[in-house]
């Protein structure tokens, strides 16, 4: 801005006579603003010019006590009123009719937002307040001045947009070349030349590599976190500020750190830009770090592979992302607690939705249910079946699939255990080496101080003792670790591994094998299992989709609650009736049914005599013990029935039939006598004073 323009005579500003006594009776406000604190520190000439506007206000007729300076917004952007308390106070003062003129270096100092600018113009026009800059005075109540002020406000906003667009395009162009500098995660360091390298600390690299190895085995962030805590492994972090800026610090691991580490593409050697865009709808006023979202990979603006030194391959990185997505509730989920073998894998063959395991009897009972439509839309439950026979069927299929690889499994397990113990030992050695370095440094510092300078020597002595104690404690912990887990497998351990691997069922049912381990094994082999209950019968159709594309189709029988749910219950009743006609009693009929392969509806494996009597009773065929047969074989009169036959004939419950029969018998001087049959249920007979007789159907 040209300083000579400030030396113009005040009469040049006021040739039109816009300043009146009404304006002079109120105060003049000088509004001062710089966009950033950097401009305030480095562009002090602009700030000096703005404070110099006080002389211009005096030249226009205002006394110095009537001039107020508002400089609360130094270092604040004019793009919004957010955080601009000075501008808010200015609008409030104008609205209270305390201001006769608002003076600024240029219109962009007041606002670069058309919304805020026109709000100020509207308030100034209502209370007859003038607006002035280096080009002159403007009266918002005049059409020409209002038009010119609106044009200046629009140009100020457009100028800000052009500046932002220019800087953003330059930023994107630099990012497309992979040269835009961004904060580096743990495990990486930027040299003075700008090149990005792995952290030169060997232990830091080992810990980062260890996290990816643990996730490949555990498949969950919680599993990795638990293992890191159990092994007392801390995460390497470089201090970004403070006295120790740039130095390596060790912090305890947490879930968010591990999640960001596994999802960051830099560990696969890729440069990315646009991975976390800002959504204005989620931005919280006053908090500039909010509003960030995570964009899918296909929406990233820049992705350059093999740009940085990598800890893992790009294929491993994509596999980790798929596993993290699979661990969410929208997918099959992670390995859950409980005895269910197919949790998250079983799909309803009717509606295609995922079936959930349900436990009862303190976790001993298991059922798979498809109730998603019932929960979401209030529809009927799709299907349900007992989980035990389904898990047993899949276990047999898994044993059959793993049998050819028994020897390879034993060798792989032995090799994996030795590698795991070697990695743990390497980590311990690095920790011991670091502790020894700290002890040696403390000793050198103590030896370098003058003996008579006890003020410093005592402090260094305490630091040396602390380092020695930490090293001793770490050595003791390492000795305890070696005592429990030697580096090399013993001969007995190798023989045990080979024996268990060759006997897969024994390994599967071993006490040391948890339900989570079995679920994890199943997920390494099976992609999903489609289950369809055939017409609400005991027949269940199963379609197993193995990883790799192979499919296995089979069928099992599930326990059902009622006989009429059995697909062959009519044929069973006919068979029982036929055998009874041939003269076989109940125990003999049960043996014949078991030999022919008939199975009861519930969890019992075979039929017995009471069950056969129940089947005969369903058809109105009397059978039972000798005493029951003598009672049943009494010669009946016309229209006489047993109570159960009476209930079946009338299609009413036995208790209701008993009530009706009792009412009928009261008028005939008869009374019911209850006898227990072989099933423990009460059977009623009406008797006279002379002999037993069946109930009379009134």
Q: Active-site positions?
A: 35
> Which residues, at least 6 apart from 547, have a Cβ–Cβ distance to it below 8 Å?
524, 525, 526, 527
Rounded Cα distance between 385 and 406, Å, is 32
Q: Is 61 left (phi over 0), alpha (psi -120 to 50) or beta?
A: left
3-state secondary structure at position 426: helix
Find, among 70, 94, 95, 96, the residue nearest to 84 by Cα: 70
Rounded Cα distance between 305 and 307, Å, is 5
Neighbours of 599 (CB within 10 A): 17
Residue 504: phi and psi, rounded to 5, are: -60, -45
CA distances (Å), 532 to each of 316, 350, 389, in order? 36, 6, 14
3-state secondary structure at position 494: helix
Rounded Cα distance between 195 and 186, Å, is 16
- The CA-based angle 210-215-216, given to 5 degrees, is 100
Rounded Cα distance between 694 and 613, Å, is 19
> Which residues, at least 6 apart from 140, have a Cβ–Cβ distance to it below 8 Å?
121, 122, 124, 125, 129, 131, 146, 149
DSSP codes joined into one string, 126-169: HTT-EEEETTEEE-TTSHHHHHHHHHHHHHHHHHHHHHHHHHHH
Which pair of structure tokens corresponds to residue 124? 């100034």
Rounded Cα distance between 260 and 280, Å, is 23
Rounded Cα distance between 532 and 544, Å, is 12
CA distances (Å), 623 to each of 382, 575, 584, in order? 40, 15, 10
Find, among 241, 248, 144, 243, the residue nearest to 201 by Cα: 248
> Which residues, at least 6 apart from 409, have a Cβ–Cβ distance to it below 8 Å?
402, 501, 504
Which pair of structure tokens corresponds to residue 126? 């209502």
Which pair of structure tokens corresponds to residue 590? 């049960």
Sheet of 671-676, strands arranged across: 671-676, 682-687, 692-693
Q: Is the dihedral of CA 648, 651, 653, 659 positive or negative?
A: negative
């Amino acid at each position: 801005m040209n300083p000579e323009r400030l030396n113009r005579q005040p009469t040049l500003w006021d040739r039109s006579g816009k300043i009146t006594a009404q304006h002079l009776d109120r105060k003049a406000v000088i509004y001062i603003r710089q966009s950033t604190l950097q401009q305030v520190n480095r562009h002090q000439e602009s700030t000096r010019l703005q404070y110099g506007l006080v002389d211009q206000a005096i030249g226009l007729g205002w006394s110095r006590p009537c001039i107020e300076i508002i400089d609360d917004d130094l270092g604040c952007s004019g793009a919004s009123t957010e955080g601009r308390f000075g501008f808010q106070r200015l609008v409030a003062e104008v609205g209270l009719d305390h201001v006769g003129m608002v003076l600024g270096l240029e219109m962009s100092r007041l606002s670069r937002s058309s919304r805020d600018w026109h709000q100020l113009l509207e308030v100034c026009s209502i209370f007859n307040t003038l607006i002035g800059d280096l080009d002159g005075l403007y009266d918002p109540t005049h059409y020409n001045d209002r038009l010119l002020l609106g044009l200046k406000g629009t140009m100020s906003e457009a100028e800000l947009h052009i500046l932002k667009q220019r800087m953003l395009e330059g930023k994107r162009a630099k990012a497309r070349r992979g040269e835009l500098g961004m904060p580096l995660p743990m495990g990486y360091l930027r040299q003075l030349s700008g090149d990005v390298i792995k952290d030169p600390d060997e232990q830091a690299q080992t810990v980062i590599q260890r996290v990816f190895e643990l996730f490949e085995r555990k498949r969950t962030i919680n599993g990795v976190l638990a293992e890191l805590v159990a092994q007392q492994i801390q995460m390497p972090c470089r201090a970004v500020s403070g006295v120790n800026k740039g130095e390596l610090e060790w912090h305890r691991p947490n879930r968010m750190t591990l999640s960001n580490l596994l999802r960051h593409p830099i560990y696969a050697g890729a440069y990315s830009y646009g991975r976390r865009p800002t959504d204005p709808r989620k931005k919280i006023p006053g908090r500039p770090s909010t509003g960030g979202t995570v964009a899918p990979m296909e929406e990233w603006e820049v992705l350059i592979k093999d740009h940085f030194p990598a800890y893992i391959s790009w294929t491993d990185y994509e596999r980790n992302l798929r596993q993290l997505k699979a661990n969410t509730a929208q997918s099959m989920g992670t390995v859950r607690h409980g005895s269910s073998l197919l949790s998250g894998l079983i799909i309803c063959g009717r509606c295609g939705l995922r079936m959930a395991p349900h436990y009862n009897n303190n976790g001993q009972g298991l059922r798979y249910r498809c109730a998603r439509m019932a929960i979401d839309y209030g529809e009927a439950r799709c299907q349900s079946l007992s989980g035990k026979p389904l898990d047993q069927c899949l276990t047999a299929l898994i044993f059959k699939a793993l049998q050819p690889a028994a020897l390879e499994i034993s060798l792989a397990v032995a090799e994996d255990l030795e590698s795991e113990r070697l990695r743990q030992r390497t980590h311990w050695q690095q920790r011991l080496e670091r502790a020894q370095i700290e002890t040696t440094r403390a000793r050198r510092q103590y030896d370098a101080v003058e003996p008579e300078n006890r003020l410093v020597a005592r402090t260094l002595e305490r630091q040396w003792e602390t380092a020695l104690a930490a090293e001793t404690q770490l050595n003791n912990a390492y000795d305890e670790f070696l005592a429990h887990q030697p580096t090399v497998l013993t001969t007995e351990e190798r023989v045990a591994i080979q024996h268990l691997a060759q006997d897969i069922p024994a390994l599967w049912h071993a006490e040391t094998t948890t339900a989570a381990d079995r679920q994890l094994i199943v997920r390494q082999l099976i992609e999903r299992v489609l289950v369809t209950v055939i017409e609400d019968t005991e027949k269940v159709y199963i379609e197993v989709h193995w990883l790799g594309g192979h499919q296995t189709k089979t069928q099992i029988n599930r326990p059902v609650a009622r006989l009429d749910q059995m697909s062959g219950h009519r044929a069973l009743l006919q068979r029982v009736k036929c055998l009874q006609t041939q003269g076989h009693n109940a125990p003999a009929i049960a043996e014949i049914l078991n030999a022919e392969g008939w199975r009861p509806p519930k969890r019992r494996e075979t039929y017995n005599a009471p069950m056969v009597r129940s089947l005969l009773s369903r058809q109105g065929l009397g059978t039972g013990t000798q005493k029951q047969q003598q009672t049943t074989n009494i010669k009946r009169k016309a229209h006489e029935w047993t109570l159960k036959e009476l209930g079946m004939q009338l299609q009413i419950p036995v208790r209701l039939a008993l009530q009706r029969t009792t009412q009928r018998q009261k008028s005939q001087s008869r009374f019911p006598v209850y006898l227990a049959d072989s099933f423990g249920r009460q059977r009623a007979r009406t008797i006279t004073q002379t002999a037993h007789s069946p109930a009379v159907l009134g």
